[in-house]
């Protein structure tokens, strides 16, 4: 019989993840650092199974921004560590708690279930192993309590529940950003066939030049526009680096139209 594999989820509760990101902030502030450096900052001797698990959990909660090279403290983490108000802190905590897709699903459909009922649901409906189900319940209960999602009078608004918590991409060098840009900029007919609606934005840039952005699918959200801005900033950088050869440069006219 094949061994059951538990679905992906944060292996630690939100309270531990916040403590870890607090340690990272204390040592590195918002500096993008190598994953091994981040692992040491949050209390490990270096990269290992446990430290990778902790960093992955922090990312699932949106407490760190990371790519395949670096890790840094996120905006959401700062709203928790140094909030402008108690309301901002609670909102950031609840957004973090509901960022993992599985935690949001359980909050919406199983938040009133007992541990016994939740364990049965995880094993029989979602394919969790016995050990995985116990670990998940521990992390889930801790997260719900820490974010005050176990109190009906503190439940988030429907708007927050409906919000897309996808993080805009963060890049620490142009090469990595360029690879992502090239991968995502290619037209993909298979994807486009899924959608029937699109929105187009256009602006006159100069005589004979018009800029246009077309978004296919559902209504764009702020994080989508931030991602587009990142790509446009890269395009600008690439244009600046691709200076024409001396023979290709237009002749500059001097005073009175003389060369």
pLDDT of residue 112: 87
For residue 216, what are the β-bridge partners? 198
pLDDT of residue 68: 67
pLDDT of residue 204: 62
- Per-residue pLDDT tens, the chain, 259 aa: give them: 344 444 568 889 999 999 999 999 999 999 999 999 999 999 998 888 888 899 999 999 999 988 768 899 999 999 999 998 898 899 999 999 999 989 998 998 888 899 999 999 999 988 888 998 999 999 999 999 999 998 776 666 554 555 544 444 444 445 555 554 444 444 443 344 444 445 666 666 665 566 777 776 666 666 677 777 777 777 776 666 555 555 444 444 445 444 4
pLDDT of residue 16: 95
pLDDT of residue 187: 41
């Amino acid at each position: 019989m094949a061994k059951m594999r538990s679905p992906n989820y944060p292996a630690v509760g939100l309270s531990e993840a916040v403590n870890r990101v607090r340690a990272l902030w204390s040592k590195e502030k918002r500096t993008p650092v190598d994953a091994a450096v981040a692992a040491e900052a949050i209390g490990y001797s270096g990269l290992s199974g446990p430290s990778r698990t902790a960093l992955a959990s922090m990312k699932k909660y949106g407490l760190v921004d990371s790519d395949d090279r670096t890790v840094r403290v996120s905006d959401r983490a700062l709203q928790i560590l140094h909030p402008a108000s108690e309301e901002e802190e609670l909102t950031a905590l609840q957004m973090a708690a509901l960022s993992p897709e599985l935690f949001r699903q359980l909050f919406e459909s199983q938040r009133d279930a007992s541990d016994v009922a939740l364990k049965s649901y995880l094993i029989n409906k979602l394919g969790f192993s016995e050990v995985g189900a116990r670990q998940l319940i521990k992390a889930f209960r801790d997260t719900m309590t820490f974010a005050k999602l176990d109190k009906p009078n503190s439940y988030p608004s429907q708007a927050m529940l409906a919000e897309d918590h996808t993080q805009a991409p963060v890049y620490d060098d142009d090469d990595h950003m360029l690879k992502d840009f090239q991968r995502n900029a290619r037209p993909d007919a298979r994807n486009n066939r899924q959608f029937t609606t699109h929105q187009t934005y256009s602006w006159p840039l100069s005589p004979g030049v018009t800029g246009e952005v077309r978004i296919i699918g559902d209504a764009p959200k702020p994080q989508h526009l931030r991602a587009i801005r990142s790509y446009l900033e890269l395009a600008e950088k690439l244009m600046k680096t691709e200076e024409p050869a001396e023979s290709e440069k237009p002749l500059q006219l001097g005073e009175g139209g003389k060369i």
